[in-house]
Structure 1
Amino acid sequence: MRKVLIVTYWYPPKRTIGALRPAKWAKYLPEFGWEPIVVTVEPHSDLYMRHGTLADELRQGRVYRTRDLSLNELLYATRALSPVRGFARALSSAPENNPEGRLKSRNPLRRLGYLAYWVYKQFICFPDEAVPWLLEYPKIERIAREERPEVILSSSLPNTSHLIASLLSRRLAIPWMADFRDLWSQNHVLPRNVLLRWIEVLLEKKTIEPAAGLITVSEPLKRQLEQLHGKPTYVIPNGFDPEDFPNEPPPSDPSGPLRIVYTGSVYPVHRDPRTLFAALQMMLKEGKIRSRDVQIDFYGRRLNVVWSSLESYPDVRPMVRFMGEVPYEEALKAQVSADVLLLLEWTDPKAKGVYTGKVFEYLGAKRPILSVGPTDGVIAELLQETNAGVHVQHAEEILPWLHRWLDEKRAFGCPRWLGDPQAIGRYSRREQARYLAEVLSSVAKGAFSA
């Protein structure tokens, strides 16, 4: 069996969306002739495992672990020290996308903490918080020399994974593929200041120079990468694993409320539920529904954003439940048991080529999806392709769907799911591993072409 060396910072047991993609590839690649040799880190703390862990489902291959030297882990380890306690709290809870808004806080100490956080993210974490992982490079090179892989595959974020893989490729003359779950210097979440952005672009170009080709998750991101690097690029979206979901029929309760479930993080402005709340408030004021007719359950992080949004919609407040962070398996069970799954898309126009990983989990849950956000992005196209749900931008557009789902709930016990199984099946983790195996084989032959 041919070997591929996978360099990824995120990997089970760390419970992050970034760990799923490389872990599922490693799970299924042996079915298509490739043995995964995974290089990752040994968890240093419970920072990414406080609310459960991810299981490593590797069936064939090996996992090598180095020290986890992430700056985030270092900061988390010192959180009990009073001088850094507030900063550590900002790191673990503050959204990374709006430092300017946070600096407008009226609390001087909080503003100082947010300013320190901004400096930390902009200057200290360059190119990212995992940059100290480069100190483990000698060990990683020894692993690569012993295993003698035919291809190297690195996955980001963090982009330090690409720095390590680039060095390996140059020194060992092994072809390398760089997987971008998110973009690097073109990332919409953390725009650098002018000077750092210029340096970051140069660093990205120099790092990617020896790569045989690139992989990313959508056509818009593919075009951006090709424009920057001029290298052949494949699109392998994120996906879902049918084996993760409980094999249970959806609940049937005509007398119960229409249960809308959201799993994931919530962000002010860019990803918040006010559009849905506005639609429900309209229906309540018009007497079309009662508060007990609809129940909205939020699972995940930063739910304080939901609470703040409800201040403008007091009539909707009794319909909302805050479930907090739960283990991954419990989140999937919540999705399967929902009547409707709520998806909040990132509103920044620069993110129109970005899939949230949750949309693929929602496809696997086989429940109607209500997606709220801009209408010209890849998620709207995905839902149209799979017929797995609806995509809306304004509260008025939600009203007919809520009426329809309520009617179906009362008539059949749960809304009907009309997804196209064949179209959805293309996004299974197994099918994506099959395609990745073809890409790796092309790279190993030196016949890569997008």
Structure 2
Amino acid sequence: MALRVLFVAGEFPPIKTIGRLRSAKFVDYLRKDGFDMTVLTTEANASVSGFDPALLDEVPSAIELLRVPMLDTEAVLLDPLKQMVRHLGRAPDKPSQAPSTPPASTSSAANNRLNLKQHSIDAFKWIVRNWIEVPDSYWLWAARAEAVADQYCNNTKVDLVFTSLPPFSAARIGFRLKRKHGIPWVIDYRDLWYGDVLREWISPIRRRLELIRERRYLRYADAVVAVSEQKTAFLQTLQPKSSARFLTLTNGYDPEIYAPYLAEPRAPNATIDFVFTGRLFKNRRGYSFAEALGQLVAQQPALRARVKVHILGGVSAEIRQRYDEILAQYHIQDLYRFTGDLPYQEAMRAQVQADYLLLIVDTGTTSSGVIPGKLFEYVAARRPIFALTDPGATQQIIERGKIGTVVPAESVAHCREKLAQWLQRPVPEQLTGDWAYLAQFERRNISKRLASLLLDVANNSDSPTPAHSTN
């Protein structure tokens, strides 16, 4: 009899996030390997942020879908506050009579009420983000999804629960099902929870409280998966008492998805085009490339007509502002094009048609273990990669696979030196990589290893409940 897996994924098609791909592909390949797959995820319709109807084709066939609506914390908690403080901005009704106070005084009082109203809302938003949405904005969804999962497990024999993180709120679902139903539980870390470079804004007190919770979850898990050896080792240090199996399964790529785009002839470019596809936010910035290019153009003005940089994806307001300052400083505004988000298919075509692919990796204390999913899209696109990343897992794959060059993420000098070399050489027609080495990152091969792990956990775990511990 096939094993039934309840796969909990807050990010899943057709919601457009990079995290959706790992979950969707795991589910699809596991189904093809004979598992019965049930996916517990968020509701998806045109009213949901990130909904992309073109991604409906990514939803694997012949699976059971349990979709639970997302709840907006602000809608649940903030709207009543807005109703309450709205009265602060409204003058009290009075009988019609001559004004007893000068118009200027009336205007000042109204402004004070409006300011108080806005300050109250801003303060409440800060409290929500920092102390209510813990560990993330999916906390209300996870509470409702847990009830749905519990009912499902009451009515259906589930052999294993698999939770994909982030959202980190999803971990509570696997934890509760493990404790109540005794179902073996596997956690998949696409990103770190404690120690993630994109969560450094969290206060030390909250970070410590979340760590206590995460350590408890790790103690109960039967297996823990992470996307790099560095992250796997880090997670083991968080909970040395865990008896779970720890395994590294990187993100990957599907050659067949890119095959139609690779079959198209590459259009000749009048300029040397560097293409970045993805988001720039928080610790993922790429300023060093812009500064290096600006300095090279100052030294060699002829480069101005030869180079274009295409940023295809969302850019946070503060990062875009800094880019505008850098580009204006070096007078290279016309060399950068910020296109915004593109449909996934258009992004793949842009990757294949690029002369060079620009990879910008997050910086931070644990960045050595970061392997962005974008790296494997670039591998599939088969174009040379110019990577801004600190030493670690991403550098190892690029250099071992012979698919590009790596410079320290924030070193303008190193970036300028390598960029000058690339601009002096002809753009290669084909990428000559070590494809035998890179084949291990094909998703079908990674999913085979996952299937083996799940079978082992389901068949050999008595799923004992650890003794009560706060660690």
TM-score, reference length from structure 2: 0.80
2:154 matched to 1:137?
no
Shift of 1:239: 1.5
8 Å contact from structure 1 (residues 341, 362) kept in 2:
yes
Match of residue 183 from structure 1: 192
> Which residue type is aligned with residue 277 of structure 1?
A
Higher-Rg structure is 2
Q: Secondary structure at the match of 1:289?
A: helix
* Cα 1:113/1:382, change in 2 over 3 Å: farther
Match of residue 397 from structure 1: 414
Match of residue 317 from structure 1: 333
Equivalents in 1 of 2:287, 2:209: separation in Å?
38
> Which residue type is aligned with residue 25 of structure 1?
F
Deviates more, 1:177-186 or 1:45-54: 45-54
2:402 matched to 1:387?
yes
Equivalents in 1 of 2:245, 2:176: separation in Å?
20
Shift of 1:152: 1.1
* Cα 1:251/1:27, change in 2 over 3 Å: same
Equivalents in 2 of 1:30, 1:390: separation in Å?
37
Decide which structure has greater helix share: 2
* Cα 1:289/1:22, change in 2 over 3 Å: same
> Which residue type is aligned with residue 149 of structure 2?
I
Matches within 5 A, 1:364-443: 364-374=380-390, 376-393=391-408, 394-399=411-416, 401-409=418-426, 414=428, 416-443=430-457
Question: Which of these residues, 46, 50, 73, is aligned with residue 48 of structure 1?
Answer: 50
TM-score, reference length from structure 1: 0.83
* Cα 1:329/1:308, change in 2 over 3 Å: same
Match of residue 35 from structure 2: 34
> Which residue type is aligned with residue 127 of structure 1?
P
8 Å contact from structure 2 (residues 266, 353) kept in 1:
no
> Which residue type is aligned with residue 68 of structure 2?
T
Equivalents in 2 of 1:422, 1:273: separation in Å?
31
* Cα 1:317/1:439, change in 2 over 3 Å: same
> Which residue type is aligned with residue 436 of structure 1?
L
Matches within 5 A, 1:67-82: 67-71=69-73
> Which residue type is aligned with residue 338 of structure 2?
F
Equivalents in 1 of 2:265, 2:420: separation in Å?
19
Q: Secondary structure at the match of 1:28?
A: helix
8 Å contact from structure 2 (residues 195, 366) kept in 1:
no
* Cα 1:5/1:416, change in 2 over 3 Å: same
8 Å contact from structure 2 (residues 296, 420) kept in 1:
no
Equivalents in 2 of 1:56, 1:241: separation in Å?
13
Matches within 5 A, 1:270-289: 270-287=283-300, 289=302
8 Å contact from structure 1 (residues 41, 65) kept in 2:
yes
Deviates more, 1:283-292 or 1:10-19: 283-292
Question: Which of these residues, 262, 280, 295, is aligned with residue 266 of structure 1?
Answer: 280
Match of residue 222 from structure 1: 232
Matches within 5 A, 1:117-196: 117-133=125-141, 134-191=143-200, 192-196=202-206
8 Å contact from structure 1 (residues 303, 322) kept in 2:
no
Match of residue 203 from structure 1: 213
Equivalents in 2 of 1:264, 1:211: separation in Å?
32
Aligned residue-pair number: 420
8 Å contact from structure 1 (residues 300, 326) kept in 2:
yes
8 Å contact from structure 2 (residues 267, 353) kept in 1:
no
* Cα 1:51/1:121, change in 2 over 3 Å: farther
8 Å contact from structure 2 (residues 10, 42) kept in 1:
yes
* Cα 1:193/1:395, change in 2 over 3 Å: closer
Equivalents in 1 of 2:385, 2:77: separation in Å?
38
Q: Secondary structure at the match of 2:308?
A: strand
Equivalents in 2 of 1:73, 1:416: separation in Å?
51
Let me know the Cα RMSD of the aligned residues.
3.2
Equivalents in 2 of 1:333, 1:39: separation in Å?
31
* Cα 1:110/1:329, change in 2 over 3 Å: farther
* Cα 1:3/1:51, change in 2 over 3 Å: closer
8 Å contact from structure 1 (residues 242, 364) kept in 2:
yes
Equivalents in 2 of 1:436, 1:2: separation in Å?
14
Unmatched runs of 5 consecutive residues or more in structure 2: 87-114, 463-471
Shift of 1:118: 4.2
8 Å contact from structure 1 (residues 226, 232) kept in 2:
no
Match of residue 3 from structure 1: 4
Equivalents in 2 of 1:356, 1:327: separation in Å?
19
Q: Secondary structure at the match of 1:262?
A: strand
8 Å contact from structure 1 (residues 166, 208) kept in 2:
no
8 Å contact from structure 1 (residues 272, 306) kept in 2:
no
Equivalents in 1 of 2:79, 2:358: separation in Å?
35
* Cα 1:54/1:235, change in 2 over 3 Å: farther
2:377 matched to 1:361?
yes
* Cα 1:332/1:212, change in 2 over 3 Å: same
Matches within 5 A, 1:84-103: none
8 Å contact from structure 1 (residues 152, 165) kept in 2:
yes
Equivalents in 1 of 2:285, 2:77: separation in Å?
28
Equivalents in 2 of 1:225, 1:354: separation in Å?
14
Deviates more, 1:36-45 or 1:47-56: 47-56
Shift of 1:320: 1.0
Q: Secondary structure at the match of 2:32?
A: helix
> Which residue type is aligned with residue 48 of structure 1?
G
Equivalents in 2 of 1:357, 1:52: separation in Å?
20
Shift of 1:70: 4.8
Q: Secondary structure at the match of 1:174?
A: coil
Unmatched runs of 5 consecutive residues or more in structure 1: 85-106
* Cα 1:109/1:279, change in 2 over 3 Å: farther
Shift of 1:109: 11
8 Å contact from structure 2 (residues 382, 430) kept in 1:
no
Equivalents in 2 of 1:110, 1:389: separation in Å?
50
Question: Which of these residues, 341, 358, 361, is aligned with residue 357 of structure 2?
Answer: 341
> Which residue type is aligned with residue 179 of structure 1?
D
Match of residue 91 from structure 1: none
8 Å contact from structure 1 (residues 151, 175) kept in 2:
yes
Q: What is the CA deviation profile of residues 420-446 of structure 1, one whole-angstrom value per residue up to 9, with x for unaligned ones?
A: 212222112211111100110110122
Shift of 1:74: 6.0
